[in-house]
């Protein structure tokens, strides 16, 4: 059970305003961040994780202001950030430590509780049997599940993931997202996950925050997520990709919801 409150968050990089007054609150939800490339999704996640210092605004987790990277916030990256040469178990065991301190900690004795927690986390993502397999011998999907397990071992109150399935094929992406959702549900953590795949977002998300140019353009629950909102989020920019998405040439004034979007939302 946890509450993340983001209030009037702004982040500027020189002349670039990556986040521009973002405000929202999520509580015990599986929230998805949507938006085109450059919308500010990664910047938002990095600010929430304390990896990036905001220019102004505040981030509060369960009443405490987030100012630096903290152990009760688990982060899952697109590139798994795993140590490839060691086992899934070792990767999970060392939690979200940095690579250097991770290698150091591999030499050290871990408590029985830590070990059990690592195994439990691997069980959550369906990899208990593979615990002693080297990460370098695992598929991309399995590696990302190890990444999720690692994010879980420190018993986070908040789980952040930046495009956790971007490099996976559609079927593995579904599987990995299923485990991520299960992990968040079983461990009772609030999750904030950026995704590019709208169909996967609609399938797993409970709450949807749409960003454009660093601003929130929608913040809705599952039942209020309409194809129009999604098409508006991705449809206002005149690109070749847009024509492809909608299948029938240049965008008209009123963009019809894509058939795929309709289908997913109808489920
Ligand atoms: N370290 C940085 N220095 C300067 N500008 C940055 C930095 N990080 C991000 N930006 C800029 O901030 C804006 C938001 O970037 P961000 O990476 O948050 O977008 P995103 O939504 O994650 O995009 P993508 O979907 O491509 O990952 C972009 O204009 C980007 O160029
Ligand atoms: Mg990004």
The model's pLDDT over 175-230, given as tens digits with 9 standing for 90+, comes to: 999 999 999 998 899 999 999 999 999 999 999 999 999 999 999 999 999 999 99
Distance 44 CA to ligand 2 centre (A): 9
Instruction: Find the helix packing angle between 170-186 and 112-124, rounded to 10°.
Output: 130
- Mean pLDDT, rounded, of the chain: 84
The finding on whether 41 has its CB within 6 A of some atom of ligand 1 is yes
pLDDT of residue 114: 82
Instruction: Give the pLDDT of residue 106.
Output: 61
What's the confidence (pLDDT) of residue 8?
A: 98
- The runs of H, that is alpha helices, within the chain are 41-48, 88-93, 99-106, 112-124, 140-152, 170-186, 198-204, 227-235, 240-246, 259-266
| pLDDT score for 259 | 53
Assess contact for 261 and 231: CB atoms under 8 A: yes
Q: Nearest ligand, CA of residue 34?
A: 1
Residue 94 pLDDT: 79
- pTM given for the model: 0.84
Which of these, 151, 140, 145, lies nearest to 75 by C-alpha position? Answer: 151
Note the pLDDT of residue 238: 45
Range ranked top by mean pLDDT from 22-31, 73-82, 111-120: 22-31
DSSP 202: H
Closest CA to 238 of 224, 252, 219, 258: 252
User: For 98-107, 110-119, 199-208, 218-227, which range has the lowest pLDDT when averaged over its residues?
Assistant: 98-107
Q: Are 175 and 139 in contact (CB under 8 A)?
A: no
**Ligand 1 within 6 A of 37 CB?**
yes
- Who contacts 72 (Cβ-Cβ below 8 Å, separation ≥6)? 61, 154, 155, 156, 157, 158
In short, whether 11's Cβ falls inside 6 Å of ligand 1 is no
Name residue 60's beta-bridge partners. Answer: 5, 65
What is the rounded average pLDDT of the residues 70-86?
81
- Which amino acid residue places its CA nearest to atom 6 of ligand 1? 13
**Poorest-confidence range of 12-26, 165-179, 246-260?**
246-260
CB contact at 8 A, 222 and 205: yes
Cα angle 29, 34, 37 (rounded to 5 degrees) comes to 150
pLDDT at residue 263 in the model:
55
Q: Quick one: average pLDDT of 100-110?
A: 60
Query: How far apart (Å, rounded) are the C-alpha atoms in residues 235 and 258?
Result: 11
Asked if residue 227 has its Cβ within 6 Å of ligand 1, the reply is: no
Distance 55 CA to ligand 1 centre (A): 15
The class that CATH gives domain 3-72+156-225 is alpha beta
Atom of ligand 1 nearest to the CA of 45: 18
**Under a CB-based contact definition with an 8 Å cutoff, are residues 125 and 149 in contact?**
yes
Q: Is 134 exposed, middle or buried (0-12, 13-18, 19+ CB in 10 A)?
A: middle
> Cβ(154) to ligand 1 under 6 A?
no
Question: Which has more pLDDT, 100 or 153?
Answer: 153
Residue 254 clears pLDDT 60, i.e. is over it: no
Ligand 2 centroid distance, CA of 265 (Å): 25
Ion ligand 2 residues within 5 Å by Cβ: 41-42
Question: For 17-76, how does the pLDDT look when each residue is reduced to its tens digit (9 = 90+)?
Answer: 999 999 999 999 999 999 999 999 999 999 999 989 999 999 999 998 887 767 788 888
> Domain spans of the chain?
3-72+156-225, 82-155
Q: Which residue has the higher pLDDT, 70 or 115?
A: 115
Does 15 sit in the ligand 1 pocket, CB within 6 Å?
no
């Amino acid at each position: 059970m946890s509450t993340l409150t983001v209030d009037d968050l702004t982040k500027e990089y020189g002349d670039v305003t990556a986040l521009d007054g973002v405000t929202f609150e999520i509580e015990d939800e599986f929230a998805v961040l949507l938006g085109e490339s450059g919308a500010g999704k990664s910047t938002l996640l990095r600010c929430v994780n304390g990896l990036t210092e905001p220019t102004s605004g505040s981030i509060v987790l369960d009443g405490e202001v987030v100012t630096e990277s903290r152990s009760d916030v688990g982060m899952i990256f697109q590139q798994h950030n795993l140590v490839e040469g060691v086992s899934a178990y070792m990767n999970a065991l060392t939690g979200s430590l940095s690579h250097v301190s991770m290698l150091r900690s591999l030499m050290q004795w871990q408590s029985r509780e830590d070990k059990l927690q690592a195994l439990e986390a691997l069980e959550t993502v369906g990899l208990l049997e593979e615990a002693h397999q080297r990460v370098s011998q695992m598929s991309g999907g399995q590696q990302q599940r190890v990444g999720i397990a690692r994010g879980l071992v420190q018993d986070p109150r908040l789980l952040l993931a930046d495009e956790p399935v971007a490099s996976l094929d559609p079927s593995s992406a579904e599987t990995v997202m299923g485990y991520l959702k299960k992990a968040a549900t079983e461990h009772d953590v609030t999750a904030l996950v950026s995704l590019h795949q709208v169909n996967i977002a609609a399938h797993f998300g409970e709450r949807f925050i749409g960003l454009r140019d660093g601003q929130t353009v929608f913040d809705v629950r599952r039942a209020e997520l309409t194809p129009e909102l999604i098409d508006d989020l991705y449809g206002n920019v005149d690109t070749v990709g847009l024509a492809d998405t909608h299948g029938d040439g240049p965008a008209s004034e009123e963009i019809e919801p894509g058939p795929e979007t309709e289908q997913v939302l109808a489920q």
